[in-house]
Structure 1
Amino acid sequence: MANWSDPRTTAAPYATGAGTRTDAYDAGLRSYMLSVYNYMTSGVLLTGIVALLFSWGGMESPAAQIMMGGGILKWIIVLSPLAVVFAMSFGQNRMSTATLQMLYWGFAVLMGLSLSTIFLVYSGTSIAGAFFATAAGFAGLSLFGYTTKKDLSAFGTFLIMGVVGLLVASVINIFLQSGVMNLIISIAGVLIFAGLTAYDTQKIKSMYAHVAGTDMQGKVVILGALSLYLDFINMFLFILRLFGGNRE
């Protein structure tokens, strides 16, 4: 989940007439959420295309030569997406919507380069299966987050703490190389990012009332898409780790 500020604390609510929702408000909300999903889906597809092209040629591909060969270029590619996320999250108030758009597309490309090795490690069938399973799960969880009347904000802190725990456990397991711990991390990762999908969807939806018609709306659309993109990609990777078969 991207660490982006909540405009609900600074922006004025969208006027809906005596506190009631209007047809115009509902139409605006649908258009707003559709924009978020379009950005998110396009980013995921761009990442997949870049990853596939970068790994084209198998062990003779640029992905194999750079990402599996070590060297400083590998680490630049691996760490660059994180740098872009931090730049977008903490610089959003100083950046224009166009700048955030450019950074988002650049982030999707960098993620494609970084994730290209999955096409060298896992079979195409495994990748496709994990992708469609993630897509189905994401759609259901995001729909739940959009339609539920239950306030999911209480789960936010718990889920973010879970992400931190995953990172710590993953670093520890680099040294332990425990298969059991790897399985636990993968299962926990799927559950945590499944929860974040519903939580982030509800959060993005609730923000519309506070940014509609303001300069912040375009920025929130892009940052919301970034959050859902991260939820999708992480859930996909953990599902792939759980069920993916290695390329023979």
Structure 2
Amino acid sequence: METKYVSTAITAVKARQEASTVFLAKVFNWMAVGLGLTGVIAWLTASTGLTLSIAQSPLYIVLILAELGLVWYLSARIDKIQTATATGLFFAYALLNGLTLSVIFLIYSGASIAGTFLISAAMFLAMAIYGMVTKRDLAGLGAFMFMGLIGILIASIVNIFLASSTLHWAISLIGVIVFVGLTAYDVQKIKSMGEQQGFMSQGDAAVQKGAIIGALALYLDFINLFLMLLRFFGGSRD
């Protein structure tokens, strides 16, 4: 009888692990689609000359505010909106972010952007793997990194008025640390979601929306890590 219980427990653990793996794959797939859309839109916007027109007009501020609004709405309303709406909002955010991020092509060389992207991808992958395999509970790390994120936002606003190069580089360095830490924390949290029978049994719609919100979190981690690293490795356009 005891052997039967042990066998049942092992089967349940394997089932949770398999469900978590499938859920993580969904999240990373959606994240990859979002990043791909952002990259294509950014490149097309820059290559057609629209970037300069957008950057020099009030539309740029409007687009940034629209991005912030989409992230807030999607995060706050994910349980109440339809699956198709959540998916559409995720794509809309990725598209808008491509428009605003196209300005990096006015500042940095294409080679340095590509090189920084690869560095960011390597760091992101390393921390994602750590978040998946570590037995350590990263909840405390996530809370600490979130406090760091708030500090970065406040310091960035202050530096708009101070225009301090020292503070600029300090923000960039701390930003790299914060988003590296958040990547590991978010991946572990997403993995835990996939292991919860209660969540995975809610149906395809709930799982799909969970994958979208997870993909948004990892998308933001990657984009912000990339932008922070670009300040260090980005070479100016000739």
CA RMSD of aligned residues (A): 1.5
Write the deviation string for residues 212-248 of structure 1: whole angstroms up to 9, x where unpaired: 1214222111100000000000000000011211111
Partners in 2 of 1:168 and 1:21 — Cα distance?
A: 46
State the partner residue of 1:100.
86
Q: How many percent identity over aligned positions?
A: 43
Which aligned runs of 4 or more in structure 1 are off by greater than 6 angstroms? Answer: none
Matched, 1:202 2:192: no
Q: Residues 139, 64 of structure 1: CA spacing in aligned structure 2 closer, same or farther, 3 A cutoff?
A: same
Q: Identify the match of residue 167 of structure 1 among 153, 156, 168.
A: 153
What are the residue-to-residue correspondences of 1:21-32 with 2, within 5 Å? 21-32=12-23
Partners in 1 of 2:114 and 2:193 — Cα distance?
A: 34
What are the residue-to-residue correspondences of 1:1-248 with 2, within 5 Å? 18=9, 21-57=12-48, 61-67=49-55, 69-71=56-58, 73-210=59-196, 211-215=199-203, 216-248=206-238
Q: Rg: which structure is higher?
A: 2
1:38 alignment partner AA: N
3-state SS, counterpart of residue 169 of structure 2 = helix
3-state SS, counterpart of residue 55 of structure 1 = helix
Partners in 1 of 2:128 and 2:27 — Cα distance?
A: 12
Partners in 1 of 2:164 and 2:231 — Cα distance?
A: 14
Displacement of 1:17: 5.0
2:209 alignment partner AA: K
Write the deviation string for residues 90-126 of structure 1: whole angstroms up to 9, x where unpaired: 1112102221111101110010001110011100111
1:98 alignment partner AA: A
Gaps of 5+ in 1: 1-15
Scaled by the length of structure 1, the TM-score of the pair is 0.88
Gaps of 5+ in 2: 1-6
Displacement of 1:18: 4.4
Displacement of 1:27: 2.5
Size of the alignment, in residue pairs? 228
Displacement of 1:66: 1.5
State the partner residue of 1:13.
none
Partners in 2 of 1:142 and 1:65 — Cα distance?
A: 37
Q: Which has the higher helix share?
A: 2
